[in-house]
Structure formats: C-alpha cells, structure tokens
Amino acid sequence: MHIAVVGSGYVGLVAATCLAEMGNDVMTVDNDTMKIEDLKKGIIPIYEPGLDEMILRNVREERLEFTTDIRDAVLRSRIIFIAVGTPPEEDGSADLQNVFAVAADIGRYMDGPRIVINKSTVPVGTAEMVKAEIIKHTSFRADVVSNPEFLKEGSAIDDFMKPDRVVIGTDSDEVAEEMRELYAPFVRTNNPILVMSNRSAELTKYVANSLLATRISFMNEIANFCDIIDADIRDIRRGIGSDRRIGPSFLFPGAGFGGSCFPKDVKALRATSKENGYSLRILEAVTSVNTDQKLILIDKITKHFGEDLKGLRFAVWGLAFKPNTDDIREASSLVLIDELLKRGASISAFDPEAMKNTREHIGDVIDFAESNYQALENADAIVVVTEWTEFREPDFERMKKLLRQPVVFDGRNIFSPSKLKGLGFSYYGIGRR
Ligand code: NAD
C-alpha cells in the first residue's frame, strides 16, 4: 500500500518504519526541515532501540522516504496517518492546531478519496472535526479513522510490530475492512483488531493511560505510607500483584511518572470531562499526587542533610523519564534538578542517552559526566532517578570510594536496602524498610 505518515517523532517515525518493514511504500513527512534533512542523511533524531538499523534498511530497500512536501505525500498515498504532537494547553486540554493544520493540507491536496488515520492522541470528537476541516477544502471523499497508538518509548518497535490490540474507530464497514488488511501482518498471533465508533476509540486511549497513571499514583501514595508505618512496598506489591484480578504490572512506586503521555493525557481527559459537565475526580488526585511525588526525593534529601543544601554536590543517575529513551519531556529529573539548584546544591549528572536533550533544555547549569562513576566524584550523595539496567548492579565499593559521603537516594528502588546498609551506605528508597 502507498502510505504517508505526517509527523516523524517518537510515534510517526516508528509507525512509518514498521509499516515499511511490512512491505508498504511509506513517505514520512515533517515540517521540521532540519529533522528531515538529518533523516535523509541517515541521522536518526531520536533514540529508540533498534530503530536506526530498521530505518536505514527500509530506506536502502526504497520502501521508506522522508520529505517536507506534504502535497507530494498526499498525492501519492491512499492512506495518510496523522502522527503530530498534541501538547497540553494551559488548561490541560490538548492543543490540536498541528492536527488541524495537517487536515487542512490533506483536504487541499487530495485528488481522490483518501483514508485519514488519526494516530495522535486526541480528545473525543476530534475525528468529526478533522473530517469537517478536510472537507472545507475538497469535494472528494475522506474517511477519518481514529486509531490511537499504544506503543511505549523504549520498546516501541516491538509494541508496534506486535500490538496487544489494534483499536479502530470508524462507522464504515468498508473502511474497517481496509484497516484490517493494513494491520493483518501485525496481528498474526490473533491479537484482536477492535472496531468501534470514533468517539469510543478516542476515549479508549485516554482511559488506558489514565488507568495506568492511576495505578502508579496509587502505589506511590501507598509507598509513602509504608515509609511512615515501617512496612515494605515490595512485599505489598508481591502480595497484591499475585492476585489475578490485580496483576503485577504498573505497581512499581518511584519518584513520579513523566513522559509526553501520562501527565498530558490525564490532564486532557479531565479537561474533556469538565467541558462535558462532568468531573473525573480521581484524575485530579492522580495528577496532584504525581506533582508531589516528583519532589519526594527532595523530602528525603532534606531530612538527611537539612533544608539548606548550599555547598553540597549530588550525583544524579538518570535524566530520561524512563529507561531506554532519550525523552525528557516532563521527566522527574528536571523537577529534582531545579529544586536542588534552588537550594544551593551543585549537580553532576549522567544518563546513557538523554544528556544531549537535557543540555539543550536546561543548559550548562549542571555538570554532565562521562560515566555514572565519574558523576560520583566528590559528590555528597547519589540520587537515582531513572532505572537504566546498567545502574542496577554497580560496583558499590568503587562508588563508596568516589563519593564524599556514602549516601544513596534510590528513587526507583533498584538497590537492596539491606545490602547497601551492610556496605556502610545510608540508604533511602521509596517505601522500603
Ligand atoms: P513528537 O513531538 O515526538 O513528534 C511530533 C512530530 O510532528 C514532530 O517531529 C513535529 O515536527 C511534527 N509536526 C508537528 N506539526 C506538523 C505539521 N503541521 N506538519 C508536519 N509535521 C508536523 O510527538 P510524539 O511523541 O511522536 O507524539 C505524537 C502523538 O502521538 C501525540 O499525540 C502523542 O500524545 C501520541 N502518542 C505518543 C506516544 C509516545 O510514547 N511518544 C505514544 C502513543 C501516542
């Protein structure tokens, strides 16, 4: 099939590459000229495991191209994906200007019927508005499908190639059939393609992310309570996670959730509910618990060192909002760094992939180390913010020698409290005994 994917970020680039991998001819469009120029030169703008190699191969085999020319892409494609950003407005609602700009372009340039697939995360009712925008500019038939994306950064290729389910929002049997054909190679193990109305499909995405965020905020609150009553959240997690009604996933407490999806999607769903005269009260709590949780390590740091952190140096391990990505959008590390600096501390940070993005975002207000060990030199404590696997089994004796004081603030509970205490560290986890 001839496909265009508009937006070549974390979702669009992965979707385009995986669609090409299945043999489709895919044009990837972006209005960021630098990004497209880089992609044409084989420079991949994001870190996603396995993506570089797959892009280069599909380009070489002439199934994947990059362009800023949306007109050409619309003319050459039967199916057009919209995968542009939908960042939050000040009131939490999703900013849809990128989506509508693309819709208008599609309407302007299409020279026959098209299927327009909305992959961006958008509020209920957007498909109808996208269709209205397209048909302002054309008299050809445009079917707008809501097809939310559930991939996770860090395992995006696997998630796209083998989705747990594909959600398709459309009222047309004919379009549903075309979508089944498009996705057939991705669901060969019989994972379901779920066809529903556009509105239900749009809402499904927000509900999925909001429920996952709710589990995390809930566990974070319980972990904080464990700290007070001297219980261990790991035991609680084991105790409840083995209950099949609950299951073991998304029960890990930590220093708050970040990323470009959970914080934004929880807020956007709340905004949609308000617009429709209903208040999703649980989601208000999810956001406010998470805002506080991003500062939970500061509480622990000031309990140990006192409120004034002037003259102290902290080694921060991990800047990305989670492992295996370079994405720092809404990352807990940024909130922590900001607060440590305000309190007069200095910081040396290390992250395997996210240092470039962090430097571009905050500048040289902190030191960027060349390795996780170098970050420890002359630091008064280490603060773990992202649970990269390479941080899990470090050489603790070496760490002790490099640190000025053997103090560990483990924001992701990756170390064993008893082991670290045995080695002479002061250890602070999240809800650990
Ligand atoms: P991103 O910011 O990484 O990428 C968006 C891209 O769209 C950018 O390259 C930008 O230049 C481009 N763009 C914006 N306006 C454009 C226009 N008018 N024409 C052409 N290109 C344009 O965003 P992302 O993380 O890929 O997210 C895209 C959408 O997918 C969002 O709605 C997001 O909520 C959703 N989503 C994201 C994830 C994720 O893990 N990142 C997962 C599922 C869904």
Helix, strand counts (H, E) of the chain: 18, 14
Nearest atom (ligand 1) to Cα of 86: 32
Q: Say which amino acid occupies 13.
A: L
Pair 323, 152: CB distance under 8 Å: no
C-alpha 8 – ligand 1 centre gap (Å): 7
Neighbouring CB atoms inside 10 A of 241's CB total 15
Read off the pLDDT of each residue in 136-149 and give the average, rounded to a whole number: 98
**At 320, is the pLDDT very low, low, confident or very high (cuts 50, 70, 90)?**
very high
Residues with Cβ within 8 Å of residue 22, at least 6 apart in sequence: 185, 186
Average of per-residue pLDDT across 234-254: 97
8-state DSSP, 250: T
What span, in angstroms and rounded, lies between the C-alpha atoms of 85 and 14? 14
Q: What is the mean pLDDT of residues 245-267?
A: 97
| 433 band by pLDDT with thresholds 50, 70 and 90 | confident
In terms of Cα–Cα distance, which of 373, 385, 378, 370 is closest to 346? 378
CA distance 54 to 37: 18
Alpha-helical regions (H) of 255-395: 262-275, 281-293, 296-305, 332-342, 355-362, 372-376
Which tens digit of pLDDT belongs to each residue from 59-92?
A: 999 999 999 999 999 999 999 999 999 999 999 9
**CA distance linking residue 112 with residue 208, whole number of Å:** 35
Q: To the nearest 10°, report the CA torsion of 226, 230, 233, 237.
A: -100
Is the minimum distance from the CB of 324 to ligand 1 under 6 angstroms? no
User: Using CA positions, which residue lies closest to atom 38 of ligand 1?
Assistant: 11
Mean pLDDT of 207-233: 98
Identify which of 380, 379, 322, 372 has the alpha carbon closest to the alpha carbon of residue 351: 372
- Per-residue pLDDT tens for 335-380? 999 999 999 999 999 999 999 999 999 999 999 999 999 999 999 9
Q: What is the mean pLDDT of residues 308-322?
A: 97
Residue among 349, 290, 361 nearest 318 (CA): 349
Quote the mean pLDDT of the chain. 97
Average pLDDT over every residue of 199-219: 98
Asked about 18 being catalytic, the answer comes back as: no
> How confident is the model at residue 321, as a pLDDT?
98
For 282-304, what is each residue's pLDDT tens digit?
A: 999 999 999 999 999 999 999 99
Ligand 1 in contact with 30 (CB < 6 A)? Answer: yes
Ligand 1 within 6 A of CB of 85: yes
For residue 298, the model assigns a pLDDT of 98
CA of 80 to the centre of ligand 1 (A): 15
Helix, strand, coil: what percent of the chain each, to 5? 45, 15, 40
DSSP assignment of 39-80: HHTT--SS--TTHHHHHHHHHHTTSEEEES-HHHHHHH-SEE
Measured distance CA(291)–CA(95) in Å, rounded: 21
pLDDT value of position 164: 97
Instruction: Note the helical H segments in 78-231.
Output: 97-109, 126-135, 156-161, 173-183, 198-229
Contact (Cβ atoms closer than 8 angstroms) between residue 72 and residue 108: no
And the tokens for 95? 């900013």
Give the residue whose CA is nearest to atom 11 of ligand 1.
32
Calpha distance 229→234 (Å, rounded): 14
For residues 307 and 378, what is the distance between their CA atoms, to the nearest angstrom? 20
Amino acid at 393: E
CA-based nearest residue to 307, from 335, 345, 336: 345
352 neighbors 154 (Cβ within 8 angstroms): no
7 lines ligand 1 (CB under 6 A): yes
Contact between 375 and 317 (Cβ < 8 Å): yes
Structure tokens at 410: 């483990």
Closest protein CA for atom 2 of ligand 1: 85
pLDDT, one tens digit per residue, over 12-42 is 999 999 999 999 999 999 999 999 999 999 9
Task: Read off the tokens for 181.
Answer: 């054909």
> Do residues 14 and 81 touch, judged by C-beta distance below 8 A?
no
- What tokens were used for 282? 């649980």
The DSSP 8-state label assigned to residue 172 in this structure reads -
* Of 27, 261, 369, 407, catalytic: 261
pLDDT of residue 141: 97
Report CA(93)–ligand 1 centroid distance (Å): 16
Evaluate: CB of 67 within 6 angstroms of ligand 1. Answer: no
DSSP result, 297-316: HHHHHHHHH-S--TT-EEEE
The closest of 87, 216, 209, 215 to 148, measured between CA atoms, is: 209
- Residues near 245 by Cβ (< 8 Å), separated by ≥ 6? none
Give pLDDT tens digits for 374-408: 999 999 999 999 999 999 999 999 999 999 999 99
Q: What local confidence, expressed as pLDDT, does residue 339 receive?
A: 98
